[in-house]
Chain A
Amino acid sequence: MTATERRARRLLSWYPRSWRETHEEEFVALLEDSIVDRPFWPGRSLNIVLSALRVRSCELRASHRRMLLSSSVPLVVLVAVIGFATNGFGLLSLSGPTKGGMPYSPPRGVAYNKLPDYLSVYIGPNDIGYTPKAYVSAPNGPDNDPLLGRIAPIFASNLTTLLGHEYPGIGFVPLGSSPWSLSCTTERVTTESAGGAQTITTIPCPSTTLVLPNVVGMVTPTAVGELSGLGVGVVIQNVHSSSIPVGHIVSTSPRGGTSVHARQQVIVDISVPN
């Protein structure tokens, strides 16, 4: 890549991704020609930055309108929680409308630059009732926020809405960041026999291993409910799949049929829209 092309591509990156997808090559070509033609043109970069920001703000406004039409109550709660937890309902930042590498349009008033890029959805083994509950946490926001990492309950029946549709950044999980500890303490039980002798029995973690069921192809709440019911920690990841319909399970790691530790973390890949 020539220095001119690098410079052109750097300027291009001010535009939102969707714009770049349709205009990238022709715009880079134009910029290269323009830079070669008039190397010193101080207004050019500023003009590009301002134009790019205008495109971004139009896009934000448009998607905000879409969002208002399709938003669901839990989502509003979720976004409000995230907005608050990550410190601030401030001005929209100038950085791009993507989260977790996917286009994302925050509602008006949410400090976009304060939103974490990645959200994790955890289904805790102890939180399964009639309606399985999932928890959403924000693992990688600013460190100094006391609310960060707090978890907000989201009902699993809303997971398919949350995953990929309304907040596409959700579910990209930095591995090993689960708030649930995988450690399991053994329990010592003392029993007294009739003769007065004491027997100390060590009870290991309950059912240390189990065979993971195959949930590939199942709809998300069912699969997550089934896995969580077994006691394993479920971590959800968004993936794109050409064969598995949106909202269904693409794969798990470890795979179904594998023998796993009862409290092991199982990564569940859910199909989300492209």
Chain B
Amino acid sequence: MSDELSALGRYTGPATLVLSSLADGPKHGYALTKDVEHFAGIHLAPGTLYAALDRLVEGGLIEGLEAVGRRRPYKITALGATALMAHLQAQRRVTETGLGRLAGAWETP
């Protein structure tokens, strides 16, 4: 896999969660963590979240909007949407292959 998200190394996971969360509209840090918690069951710690945000901004995959009060919403860019799409489709092939082979050889619980 050579998409932009995989290139983020240890931040691929958090970055995928962040982009997935932003895919339906801009969110600020706290809304983002709550959203990720809701759809993935993962608590993104603040340090990790901002490390991922920094890298995504740097790569042009998201952009910071004008702060609302103290909170700054982030928005996914077209480049970010393309990268997320590519990454998730690659992931889907892995997921489907894995699940398919499991279904063939192992009994699902």
Contacts and interface: CB of A to CB of B under 8 A. Distances in A.
B41 interface: no
A257 interface: no
B29 A27 contact: yes
Interface residues of B, number: 19
Interface size band for A: 20 to 34
A182 interface: no
A41 B18 CA distance: 21
Contact of A33 (B30, B54, B72): B30
B51 A55 contact: yes
Contact of A34 (B30, B51, B70, B72): B30
Contacts of B49: 30
Tell me what chain B mostly uses at the interface: helix, strand, loop, or mixed.
Answer: helix
Contacts, number: 60
A49 B47 CA distance: 8
A48 interface: yes
A28 interface: yes
Given A25-B70, A26-B67, A29-B30, A34 B50 contact: no
Contacts of A33: 29-30
Nearest to A58: B54
Contacts of A30: 28-30, 33, 46, 49, 71
B33 A34 contact: yes
Nearest to B10: A54
A199 interface: no
A48 B43 CA distance: 14
B28 A26 contact: yes
Given A47-B46, A48-B46, A26 B29 contact: yes
A54 B51 contact: yes
B73 to A, nearest CB: 9
Contacts of A28: 70
A55 to B, nearest CB: 7
A41 B34 CA distance: 15
Interface string A1-38: 00000000000000000000001011111110110011
Given A26-B71, A29-B70, A50 B47 contact: yes
B48 interface: yes
A31 B72 contact: no
Given A26-B29, A29-B29, A34 B46 contact: yes
A52 B54 CA distance: 12
Contact of B50 (A27, A29, A37): A27
Interface of B: 28-30, 33-34, 43, 45-51, 54, 67, 69-72
Given A27-B29, A44-B47, 18 more contacts: A25-B67, A26-B28, A26-B29, A26-B67, A28-B70, A29-B30, A29-B71, A30-B29, A30-B30, A30-B46, A31-B46, A33-B30, A34-B30, A37-B34, A44-B46, A49-B47, A51-B46, A52-B47
Interface of A: 23, 25-31, 33-34, 37-38, 41, 43-44, 47-52, 54-55
